Structures are given as structure tokens and as C-alpha cells.
Structure 1
């Protein structure tokens, strides 16, 4: 849904569901190549939608505002030519039930093709039910197929999402959203890429004065042909964000004044605001928890777990690199199968023989096995001798820690990359 050819659908959906996001600015067009009409139309529509105040706290009023809204006379025929309607995702009020107000929005199946871009979609159906006070909402969305492309072409199959959110007194919407995609197929110069069973989950919770964010992503497989990851899982949390800081940033990002700026000006303003947001969050202290980052390749699983913490800081400390490093606390557990090193050694062996011969030539199993064993043994031997990791029968593991400005690997401070015994050589008054 992030692709430019669907930016209008996304921005309208975001409007209806009371999220606070800005559709992406169009990439600069290559010399003498006109920007595709579908991108021009979605960008113009998103800008006009910015006239609606996304800071309105009542979701029912926001839906009603879009219901009454009309795009400009100049844009309406262009919208109809691309999307088959001059008002995509127009909301339809359904009968109330269970004390909730029900709405439905549908973008009918269609498509648009031109020299520089192509897009096609099945019916895209959005459903929302809200509380009478407009401070709670449940929503779902689905599309059997979405296809889009400029240089490459991507086809998304069986997209579904669902969420439940509640607005708190600080104006932020808390809750969870789940999305799933059966497959994403990308055809381009680099060969066909296939991603299967993609799942995404986000959750925002309020804990006292702080906000916690949880993020999860998984896929059953991803890759090109035989070269693919068999499983990927990412589960992380950001804990202890200052709720007021997040609320202020969200209100600014949703302001009509920002939406009406030119894309380049928006980017400059948001980069500055993101920097201010980062400093404000670091002043209050924040922790990133990595519950699991793991991937499987040819049956072998590598994983990373741990946390990265940043203690409360002053502006002066944020401007001093030594002080900044002393605020950082890291502990990461890394596990890599021994077989993965053998696979890597095998690739190195194949390249070595290819280079030695000066041209491609078939490898006999005996040649490959011998060189692979030699290289794998050397790699594992070097790791064991360094003391930076524990080499077991089936896996190589280590604990990476950074505390009080000192880095250790398996409890040992490395001397490399400008470090001596894990200490980075910095002038006492070094600044960022």
C-alpha cells in the first residue's frame, strides 16, 4: 500500500481510520521523462485532502467531513480517469447495530495504464465501526489483488488488515493493527522476487506518562528462485517514550499547514522535527527490546535477541560523544549455525576455483568438499582462537555488551576498528 500508485487509497484510508501519516512525496522525475499521470493525480489528491484537519479528535466527524468533501473541479475528471470515480473511497453509512456506527468504503475494481506506469486492483473494501462518541473504532480492509509498477511490476495477492483503536485524553490513538499478504511477486531486471505469507503487527500502548510501541513482522519465505530465506521473524518493542512528546509530534505531523507545503519543504521540515523528536525522547530515556530477529536458510536458523537502552540525558550530554556513549547500555545475544559458516565457505571455495581457473568451470564434488572443509575449518578456528564467541557442536554464539563506554564480545574487549580492549579512543571533549 505504500507504493505511489496507491497513495490516494492509502491517504483516504488513513483519513477514515484516524491514523496520522503523510503519503510519500513523488520521487524526482528523470530528465525529460514526465511524471506519470497516476502519480501526479494521487499527489494532488493527497494535497487537497490535507485541507481536512486530521487533528479532529472525533472519528465520526472526520468521516463526515470527508463525506461532505469534494475535490477541486480541475482534479475530479483526472481522478475519474485513473480510479473510475472522482471520489475514491467515498464513505457509506450503514445501519447502526450493537451501539456502534457502521461505515463502508469501496474502491471498485479497475486499472490505469500509461507509458511510464501501470496499476490494477480488485475491489478494495474498507469497513469501520465506531463508538457514538467517536473515540473508539474497529476497522477491516481487504483486496484480493493489487498490481502496480513503474520500472518493475509488483503483484500483491490477498491483502487483509484489521485493527482496534481507542483515543485517550492526550489525543493519541492506542490499540493494535494486524495485516497479512498471501504473496508479493516482483518482476524486474534483477529477476523475479517472491515473498510468501507476509504478516505485520503493530501495537501502541499507554503506560502511565509513557508510550510503548510493539512491532512484529514475519514471512514464510522470500527470495529469487532457489536463493531464498525460508523464514523471517522480527519482533521488537520501543519502551518508555514520553507520551507528551509523541502527542506533540503527532499533532504537528497532522497539521493542515504542513500538508500544504511543497514536498521538498515538507521533507526539510519533517527531517528537522524528527531530529527534535529523537533528542526529546533520548532526554527522557528510551529502551529498544529485540524479542526476536531470526531467519532460516536451508534449514539453518540464525537469531538475535537483546535490548538497547538509553538513560535519561541532558542537552549537554547529548552534544558530547563521550557522555552520549556512557548513557548507552547494550546487551545482544547472537546465535549462528556452524553449518552457515560451511555454506559461506562453500561459496568462497567456488569463487576461489573460478578465479584460479580464470573462467567458469564445473566443480567436482571432491574439489568443493575439500576446499570448503579447509576454509570452514579456518574460519571456525579463527573464531575459537579469538575468544570473541563460543563455538559449539552446532552453533557459534556470543554476547555483545556495551556498558560504561566499553564494548565486549563474549566478555572480551576487542582491539580493532579504532578500539583498544573495547574502548573507543575519543578526545575528552569530543562532540557530535
Structure 2
């Protein structure tokens, strides 16, 4: 009796090695939160949960191991991530080389900053690679496009019907795209901005299949504002408005810097603590936890647990915000007041606001950072420690416990 041919082995590479500075928010854009979950976590899950995908590999920045580990937690089918290169092209090649020892038949290469890809688009990408060898999703261009020179003088108007706006995931037979990338690298060609361009440069026929208008790439702040609205319930559905407060203090010790509200500030002394001793983020974490009535930072991250020795405090605030999201809620506002004689907070205020906003996944206009001295009074006035007071306003879906 004849046997059925084996199904092709299919892998996905998610390119997530960029810094994403245009998006703002204090974190690389792939680690910013949307609806309580990071962009990368959403993108990883899209491919890992697809029944035709066998393995998912992320290409990340060498400094982002902890951020990636948090995003990847609980996601199936992942193989160990690899460090990317200095360009999009170099990162694509790094991912392909990592898969080469056990090569798949088909590989999909996707921008991690596109978290809205549908399962149907993934299916079309796989089918296109199986049929054509090299294919990219594209959309017809509806605006008239002009070609201009260095003086912005129009030099041509290509017909719209011949143009396509290209997206990811781009799909290829594995051997074809790996060979194309290796040839380009050997030739010193390193400015190609997507993998389809690499295949095209190497002389391979490249085809376009139907993309999706909703498959947006998150690039700037406006993109994140629009994306967040997709995950945020209407305010009318979040009628349970709550406020929590937090307070924290850390003693001054030897050192050459302090962490305040997620920003490293050079200073003549440091702060002592089990983690990085960031009083601002600790107070904010307690404020969020207080708003949902879920203990305090010590209950969630006990000092007796060595996992949190020297830990970055952005993890604590992100955890608390995630608990709000898990209840179907949203953070409406965060406010923190730092009490210290030094360092000066003013020069760092906007960086702090941006960092807090990025960790919490909210707009910077929803974050307040203030500072005051103690007029030389008390332990703060004597420069023996730094303290912080914080408040958090959150909105949860309204429930009536008596009706349940």
C-alpha cells in the first residue's frame, strides 16, 4: 500500500533584534506591551500556535535576553534564540544559519513588530512558498506614487497597477533563501531591507501573494496608540475605577549611580537594596498592586528569593500591570513623587516618564514624575536615603459580587 508523502517541515523566524527607538516608550518596540502582553509575545504566539508551523526562532539583540525570556514564557515550539546583526539583512542571515543544522523545507521570515498577522495569511505564505519557492505578501497601492530627485523634483510617475506594498511574513524554500543570503554576504551586499529583496538580488523569481490591510507594522508612537485601542475595552465597560498608593525608601550606600524610575543616573553614592533599589518603580508597583488589592511587592518578589537579587525593577512594575490586564482592566494614570536632596531630578524627568510609560504600556501623557527636597530635615534631608510616594489609577470591568 503506498504511503502518503511526509508533510513539509515548516519553521518561522521572527526578526526582533532592532532597538525600535522611533516608537518611544523607553523599551525596544517589540517588548512594549499591548493589552497587557508584549508585542513580541503576541507575534511569537501567532506562529507557535499555528498548526502547520513546526518551530519558531527569534533573532534578538544580544542585550535583550531577559526581555526575551519574559516574552517567550509559556509559548510552545520555540527553539533557542540567536543574536542578530547590525542590519535587518544580517539578522535574517543569523536566523537562517541557526536553522541550517536541521533545515526545514519552508521558512517564513517575519517582522516581530507585526503582531496582527492572521492564521489565514500564514497559510497563504506557506502555500505560496510551496508553489513558487519565494513569495512575499503585498497590497495594491491606492495612492499615486511619484519618483523624485535630490531636489524633490518629480522625475517619474510609475503606474499604480504595477506597484505593491510589501509586508511579512515572507516565505521561501529554505535552501533557496539561505543560499541567496550567503551569496549577498560574500559579495559585501548588506543594504537590502527585506528577505524578498535578497532572493531577488540573487536572481530568484519572486512572487507576490495577497497581504492584509490589518497586518500593520508598529513603527512610531501613533502606531502604538492605534494598536492599543484595539486591545482596550471602551471606557464605559471599565466602570470600576480604583486608586492605589505606594511608598518605598532605600538607604544610601557606596556606589557611583542610582536607578530612579527606570533611569540610570550617575551619582556619587548608590542605594542599597535586594534588587536594583529603584524606589520610584517600587512605589509604583505597590500602588498598582494596591489598586487591585493584591498584596505588595514583597509578597510577589520576596527578598528571600535570590532570583530577585540585583533584578531590574521594570520587571516588578510590568508584572503588576500584567495583573491588571489579566483582570480585563487598564492602567489610566501613574504618578510618583521622589523625595531626595540629590541627584537633581529635573534633567531626567522626561526620560523617567517615557520609561515608566514604556514599561506600563501607556501613553506618556498618563505618567507624572515630580520631586521635592526635605529642606535638610530627616534622613532624606541628611542624604541618608531616598524615598518615593506613588499613586496609580486603574479601571476594571464593573462586577457586582452580590449578583454572583
Given the two structures, how large is their TM-score scaled by the length of structure 1?
A: 0.25
Larger RCO, structures 1/2 (Cα 8 Å, 6+ apart): 2
Q: Which protein has the larger Cα radius of gyration, Structure 1 or Structure 2?
A: 1
Structure in which a larger fraction of residues adopt strand: 1
Structure in which a larger fraction of residues adopt helix: 2
